[in-house]
Structure 1
Amino acid sequence: NTLCILISYTPQLYHLSLMNLSENDSDDEIVLPVRCSNLTYLSIKICSITFDELKTFIIDTKCNLKFLHIIGESDYNDYINDEQWEELIVNYLSKLEKFYVEYCQDIDPESESLANFQPPDQFNSLFWNQRKWIFDIEMNGMEYIYSVHSYKYSKNNLKEFINDLFSCRERWYDIDPANEISNSTRLKITNLPDDDHMMVLDLIIRDILSITQIYHLEISKENISSHILLKIINKFSALDTLKISSLKLSESKYSFNENKYSHFKSKKNKITKIYLEKMNEIEEIYFLLKLCPHIEYLKIGFIHNMDVELLMKDIFKKINNVCNQYLQSLCLHIPIANDEIIEKLKEIINRKKLLRDFSIKYVIDNIYLQWK
């Protein structure tokens, strides 16, 4: 009611930013909002009303929003219902250009089991793909953070987003500008339970897959053990990309001998792109190549105390040992690289006959190598 009364005095309002929008708790007669056809910007940092109430406000004010930013309260999970949003946008927000919705939910690993379900594809229909609005999930401690936003939007670049600069980086795996926007749902895991409580993680992943299918996985926990990574990968059947902070190989040979069934399942995964942010030993490359036999693109970030030339020879030795027929692109983050190093690498590749038809270049601290 307070909001409706306030905007009744500002019929020319075009920019509205609210810290908190809550339900009307009083018994007073509800004041209907006035027409605000000039309203093009709406941001609500804490939205404590239901989706239906928000929809009513948008319809009754007859606003012409171009920018909508909503962070919904956890009591109302209808904020991540793609069909409701699509209907609202098509019928009442036809001019909407910038869109961000976030919804937080506490993790409840003791909820009832969901058996024999097919993961839905929330926010992955033609409607969302055409607009390049995508669905992300972040598992942060004991909380899920769901968000729907523009493809190039980064939560860390909200200022640029608001100012319409759109200078933030695309996702790390966008090596091909012609990539399809479909199948873009990403899960970011910032914390993991210890080895004795992995059943909790199984239940959490089950709950996530009850919401949507996952195509891109990012794990920011440092030194994730190889056998835990193997278990996690096998939970997601549709993964296309994998990003991990750093890896700790299990004492047994790369954990594959621990569980023949898990090894068999890893052979069937569809991962084509891998980004290892920090590499401590060359054997990690061997593990990842074995884990993901369909890999096409490998990116390696920080390389700990390794000679670049020796590293390149070792990498191709591992590739040849695994007999990977799909890998055709390699990116190494080497800040010290220069034209001299590039020429040396070319000479090594040709002399050792590591590759036949290849190209190598150095761009902004990264060495890019492609071959056929």
Structure 2
Amino acid sequence: MNLNELIHLSIFSSDLDFDVFQFFIELIHSNLQILHVNFLKRDIRFLHADRWQKLLLENFSQLEKFSLCYREPGYGDNYPIYDGELNQFVSSFWIQRNLIFDIEIWEYRIYYFVRPFKKRWYDYSIEHSKSAQLTIKYVYCNELPNILLNQIKRVLNFTQIYHLNIEQKISTESLMQIIHLLPDLISLKISALFYYESILQFGDHEFPTTSALEHASNIKYVCLEMTFTMDDISFLISFCPRIEYLNVECIENMNIQSFLREILNKINQNHHKYLHALCIYIITADKQMVKQLKQMIDDEKLLLNYTIHRQLYNIYLKWK
């Protein structure tokens, strides 16, 4: 096989360190157009953006697509030391190629990705320098919280986190412990919430730290994939007082008109001056439903200057 003719190369390795990989890749001298690499070996140099930039610029002038996945296994106590700068993958080199830095936590493993940016659930423009997202895919429910918190602290050695996505049900207490560590959050997406009895009434009880409340006040966009009670929405609106956009699922077996009425009444009663956009996911959404909701809003004067429309199973409401 003539490596010089390669145009597409995918590498998965648990043995190569960065130096060996670099030596191999520099031998190719091909017109490579697509490069996907996935590494399991503990070598922190795989996360040095300047080395990647130099390697790609000097060897693959025709490269069109690139992605990197680097996995760190373990509990978080014996990771290799990272001595680089924060937020390395935000230079013009990466911006021009529409590549962003993302992190995922799955059980005891941390996955670091450099990959093309894809549209996310919030329909708002975000600076490339503030695109880093942490996704908590799965952690053991009975696991000590310190393991996850130490993993997040590890991630913060590499980058600030601006977007948090939690893909499993989480307690409000655990959520606040996580947000305590993340002062720069812009968006928050949660699969589902559950409560300990002592914190059902937001504002009437002590929380883990005031820092969690301060950090939550910076969050602008919130998505709750599964809504079980109105307490879920009440908590999020109170916990994130500067929320601008809320995306929720209609409670199962609850009339959509009653659901929307309760949300808007809560917003109006609490005089939320930041929240001006709402998306409700309901699988039975249709034109007639939108018409009925508009009639209810007008008749009950729930909103004055607003727009409402449907896209597939989502009903969007915006007001001034």
TM-score by length of 2: 0.90
Once the two structures are superposed, the pairs formed by residues 45-64 of structure 1 within 5 Å of their partners are 45-46=12-13, 48-64=15-31
Tell me the CA shift for residue 291 of structure 1: 1.1
Tell me the CA shift for residue 59 of structure 1: 2.2
Residue range with higher mean Cα deviation, 39-48 or 193-202? 193-202
1:233 has 2:179 as partner = yes
**Cα-to-partner distance string for 1:338-365 (whole Å, 9 max, x where unaligned):** 2221111111111222111111111111
Distance 1:356 1:230, change over 3 A: same
The whole-number CA distance in structure 2 between the counterparts of 1:203 and 1:274 is: 25
The whole-number CA distance in structure 2 between the counterparts of 1:236 and 1:40 is: 41
SS of the residue 1:103 aligns to: strand
1:76 has 2:51 as partner = no
Tell me the CA shift for residue 72 of structure 1: 0.7
Tell me the CA shift for residue 146 of structure 1: 1.2
1:298 has 2:246 as partner = yes
What letter is aligned with 2:107?
G
Partner of 1:151: 117
The whole-number CA distance in structure 2 between the counterparts of 1:203 and 1:141 is: 13
Quick check: 2:251–2:259 contact (8 Å CA) kept in 1?
no
Tell me the CA shift for residue 320 of structure 1: 2.2
Distance 1:302 1:317, change over 3 A: closer
Partner of 1:205: 152
In the alignment of these two chains, the number of paired residues is: 316
Tell me the CA shift for residue 299 of structure 1: 0.7
Quick check: 1:119–1:213 contact (8 Å CA) kept in 2?
no
Distance 1:179 1:197, change over 3 A: closer
Distance 1:196 1:74, change over 3 A: closer
User: Could you tell me which of 266, 278, 282 is aligned with 2:230?
Assistant: 282
SS of the residue 2:86 aligns to: coil
What letter is aligned with 1:191?
Y
Once the two structures are superposed, the pairs formed by residues 149-188 of structure 1 within 5 Å of their partners are 149-152=115-118, 170-173=119-122, 175-176=123-124, 178-188=125-135
Partner of 1:249: 195
Tell me the CA shift for residue 77 of structure 1: 2.6
Query: Can you give the 5+ residue segments of structure 2 that lack an aligned partner in the other structure?
Result: none
SS of the residue 1:190 aligns to: strand
Quick check: 2:177–2:208 contact (8 Å CA) kept in 1?
no
**Cα-to-partner distance string for 1:145-167 (whole Å, 9 max, x where unaligned):** 11111112xxxxxxxxxxxxxxx
The whole-number CA distance in structure 2 between the counterparts of 1:119 and 1:281 is: 43
The whole-number CA distance in structure 2 between the counterparts of 1:46 and 1:122 is: 23
1:327 has 2:275 as partner = yes
Once the two structures are superposed, the pairs formed by residues 1-372 of structure 1 within 5 Å of their partners are 10-11=1-2, 13=3, 36=4, 38-46=5-13, 48-111=15-78, 120-152=86-118, 170-173=119-122, 175-176=123-124, 178-192=125-139, 194=141, 197-222=144-169, 224-252=170-198, 253-254=200-201, 256-259=203-206, 262-263=209-210, 265-269=212-216, 270-301=218-249, 303-372=251-320
What letter is aligned with 2:94?
W
What letter is aligned with 1:137?
I
The whole-number CA distance in structure 2 between the counterparts of 1:225 and 1:282 is: 16
The higher radius of gyration belongs to 1
SS of the residue 2:278 aligns to: strand
Quick check: 1:256–1:263 contact (8 Å CA) kept in 2?
no
SS of the residue 2:113 aligns to: strand
Tell me the CA shift for residue 211 of structure 1: 1.9
Tell me which stretches of 4 or more aligned residues in structure 1 moved more than 6 Å: none
Tell me the CA shift for residue 106 of structure 1: 1.2
Quick check: 2:250–2:256 contact (8 Å CA) kept in 1?
no
SS of the residue 2:66 aligns to: strand
Quick check: 2:86–2:158 contact (8 Å CA) kept in 1?
yes
Tell me the CA shift for residue 214 of structure 1: 0.9
Query: Can you give the 5+ residue segments of structure 1 that lack an aligned partner in the other structure?
Result: 1-9, 14-35, 153-169
Tell me the CA shift for residue 219 of structure 1: 0.8
The whole-number CA distance in structure 1 between the counterparts of 2:9 and 2:152 is: 33
The whole-number CA distance in structure 2 between the counterparts of 1:61 and 1:205 is: 37
The whole-number CA distance in structure 2 between the counterparts of 1:242 and 1:363 is: 22
What letter is aligned with 2:226?
K
